[in-house]
Amino acid sequence: MSIIFNEENKIFTLQTKSSSYQMKVDSYGLLVHTYYGKKIPICDMSYNFENGYYLSFSPYDAIAQPWNPHSVDMLPQEISTYGNGDFRESAINVRQADGSLGLELRYDSYKIEKGKYSLQGLPSFYGENAETLVITLKDKVYDIYVHLYYGIFEEYDLITRAYKVENKTNSAINLEKAMISLDFFNGDFDLVTFHGKHMKERMLQRNEVFYGTSSVGSSRGASSHMQNPFAILCDTNANEEYGSVYGFGLVYSGNFLISASKSQNRSTRVNVGINPENFNFILEAGDSFVTPEVAMVYSNEGFGKMSRCYHKAIRNNLCRGKFKTARRPVLINNWEGTYFDFNADKLVAMANDASKIGIELFVMDDGWFGKRDNDLSGLGDWTPNEKKLQGTLKELGDRINATGMKFGIWFEPECISADSDLYRAHPDYAFQMPNRVPSESRNQLVLDMSRKEVRDNIYNQLEKVLNSANISYVKWDFNRHISDLYSVALPKDRQGEVFHRYILGLYELLERITANFPDILFESCSGGGGRVDMGMLYYMPQVWTSDNSDAIDRLEIQYGTSFAYPVSAMGAHVSTVPNHGNARVTPLKTRGIVAYFGTYGVELDITKMTDEEKTEIQRQIVEFKEYYDLIQYGEYYRLQGPFDSTKFYTVWEVAKEDGSEALVASVRNRNEAGFVHEIIKLNGLIPDKFYRINNSEKLYSGAALMEHGLKMEYDFFAYPARLYHITLAE
* Nearer of residues 293 and 547 to ligand DGJ, judged by Cβ: 547
* Nearer of residues 3 and 525 to ligand DGJ, judged by Cβ: 525
Asked if 598 interacts with ligand DGJ (CB under 6 A), we say no
Are 137 and 145 spatial neighbours (Cβ–Cβ below 8 Å)? yes
Residue number of the CB atom closest to ligand DGJ: 366
* Nearer of residues 332 and 726 to ligand DGJ, judged by Cβ: 332
Asked if 21 interacts with ligand DGJ (CB under 6 A), we say no
Instruction: In angstroms, give the least distance from the CB of 334 to ligand DGJ.
Output: 10
Helix 452-468 / helix 393-402 crossing angle, nearest 10 deg: 50
Instruction: In angstroms, give the least distance from the CB of 477 to ligand DGJ.
Output: 5
Instruction: In angstroms, give the least distance from the CB of 569 to ligand DGJ.
Output: 15
- Amino acid identity at 602: V
Instruction: In angstroms, give the least distance from the CB of 393 to ligand DGJ.
Output: 18
Scanning 35-43, 302-310, 450-458, 521-529 for contacts with ligand DGJ by CB under 6 A, the matching segment is 521-529
Beta 105-114 vs 131-139: how paired, if at all? antiparallel
Active site residue 613: yes
* Nearer of residues 478 and 633 to ligand DGJ, judged by Cβ: 478
Asked if 547 interacts with ligand DGJ (CB under 6 A), we say yes
Instruction: In angstroms, give the least distance from the CB of 362 to ligand DGJ.
Output: 14
Among the listed residues 484, 511, 613, 623, the single catalytic one is: 613
DSSP SS3 for 33: strand
Beta 200-208 vs 105-114: how paired, if at all? unpaired
> Which positions from 66 through 95 interact with ligand DGJ, judged by CB under 6 A?
none
Of positions 86, 154, 353, 366, contacts ligand DGJ by CB under 6 A: 366
Scanning 83-91, 262-270, 419-427, 524-532 for contacts with ligand DGJ by CB under 6 A, the matching segment is 524-532
How far apart CA 493 and CA 95 sit, in angstroms, is: 14
Instruction: In angstroms, give the least distance from the CB of 438 to ligand DGJ.
Output: 20
Instruction: In angstroms, give the least distance from the CB of 549 to ligand DGJ.
Output: 9
Helix 551-561 / helix 588-596 crossing angle, nearest 10 deg: 10
> Which positions from 134 through 193 interact with ligand DGJ, judged by CB under 6 A?
none
> Which positions from 286 through 305 interact with ligand DGJ, judged by CB under 6 A?
none
**Closest-CA residue to 319 (of 125, 151, 512):** 125
Helix 611-626 / helix 588-596 crossing angle, nearest 10 deg: 20
Quickly count: other Cβ atoms within 10 Å of residue 121's Cβ. 12
* Nearer of residues 411 and 563 to ligand DGJ, judged by Cβ: 411
How far apart CA 591 and CA 550 sit, in angstroms, is: 8
* Nearer of residues 185 and 411 to ligand DGJ, judged by Cβ: 411
What is the CB-side half-sphere exposure of residue 436 using CA atoms within 13 A? 12
Among the listed residues 154, 381, 448, 533, the single catalytic one is: 533
> Cα angle at 487 between 482 and 488, to 5 degrees?
145
* Nearer of residues 329 and 720 to ligand DGJ, judged by Cβ: 329
* Nearer of residues 5 and 340 to ligand DGJ, judged by Cβ: 340
Burial class (CB in 10 A: 0-12, 13-18, 19+), 686: middle
Are 557 and 202 spatial neighbours (Cβ–Cβ below 8 Å)? yes
Of positions 525, 540, 564, 631, contacts ligand DGJ by CB under 6 A: 525
The alpha carbon of residue 721 and the mean position of all alpha carbons in its chain are separated, in whole angstroms, by 28
> Which positions from 104 through 133 interact with ligand DGJ, judged by CB under 6 A?
none
How far apart CA 258 and CA 248 sit, in angstroms, is: 9
- Beta-bridged to residue 212, according to DSSP, are 262
* Nearer of residues 292 and 527 to ligand DGJ, judged by Cβ: 527
Instruction: In angstroms, give the least distance from the CB of 10 to ligand DGJ.
Output: 51
How far apart CA 275 and CA 257 sit, in angstroms, is: 5
Beta 230-235 vs 212-218: how paired, if at all? unpaired
Of positions 123, 196, 496, 527, contacts ligand DGJ by CB under 6 A: 527
* Nearer of residues 415 and 712 to ligand DGJ, judged by Cβ: 415
Kindly state the DSSP code that residue 556 receives in the 8-state scheme: H
Instruction: In angstroms, give the least distance from the CB of 366 to ligand DGJ.
Output: 3
Are 682 and 652 spatial neighbours (Cβ–Cβ below 8 Å)? no
Kindly state the DSSP code that residue 48 receives in the 8-state scheme: T
Are 487 and 448 spatial neighbours (Cβ–Cβ below 8 Å)? yes
Are 219 and 506 spatial neighbours (Cβ–Cβ below 8 Å)? no
Could you tell me how many residues of this chain bind ligand DGJ (CB under 6 A)?
Answer: 11
- In sequence order, which residues have a C-beta less than 8 Å from that of residue 350 and are 6 or more positions away? 332, 334, 337, 338, 362, 605, 606, 607
Q: Would you give the binding string for ligand DGJ spanning residues 334-353, x where CB under 6 A is met?
A: -x------------------
Of positions 157, 201, 365, 419, contacts ligand DGJ by CB under 6 A: 365
- Beta-bridged to residue 331, according to DSSP, are 361, 601
Instruction: In angstroms, give the least distance from the CB of 558 to ligand DGJ.
Output: 16
Instruction: In angstroms, give the least distance from the CB of 415 to ligand DGJ.
Output: 10
Three-class DSSP labels, 481-523:
CCCCCCCCCCCHHHHHHHHHHHHHHHHHHHHHHHHHCCCCEEE
- In sequence order, which residues have a C-beta less than 8 Å from that of residue 465 and are 6 or more positions away? 369, 382, 384, 393, 409, 411, 471
Instruction: In angstroms, give the least distance from the CB of 356 to ligand DGJ.
Output: 24
Kindly state the DSSP code that residue 122 receives in the 8-state scheme: B
- Amino acid identity at 96: Q
Active site residue 108: no
* Nearer of residues 267 and 461 to ligand DGJ, judged by Cβ: 461
Whats the size of the chain, residue-wise?
730
Scanning 46-54, 134-142, 492-500, 522-530 for contacts with ligand DGJ by CB under 6 A, the matching segment is 522-530
Scanning 2-10, 16-24, 31-39, 523-531 for contacts with ligand DGJ by CB under 6 A, the matching segment is 523-531
Instruction: In angstroms, give the least distance from the CB of 367 to ligand DGJ.
Output: 8
* Nearer of residues 479 and 620 to ligand DGJ, judged by Cβ: 479
How far apart CA 447 and CA 453 sit, in angstroms, is: 11
* Nearer of residues 240 and 523 to ligand DGJ, judged by Cβ: 523
Of positions 53, 410, 502, 624, contacts ligand DGJ by CB under 6 A: 410
What is the CB-side half-sphere exposure of residue 677 using CA atoms within 13 A? 7
Asked if 477 interacts with ligand DGJ (CB under 6 A), we say yes
Are 173 and 165 spatial neighbours (Cβ–Cβ below 8 Å)? no
Are 55 and 71 spatial neighbours (Cβ–Cβ below 8 Å)? yes
Asked if 544 interacts with ligand DGJ (CB under 6 A), we say yes
Contacts with ligand DGJ by CB under 6 A lie at 335, 365-366, 410, 477, 479, 525, 527-528, 544, 547
Q: What amino acid positions are annotated as catalytic residues?
A: 533, 613
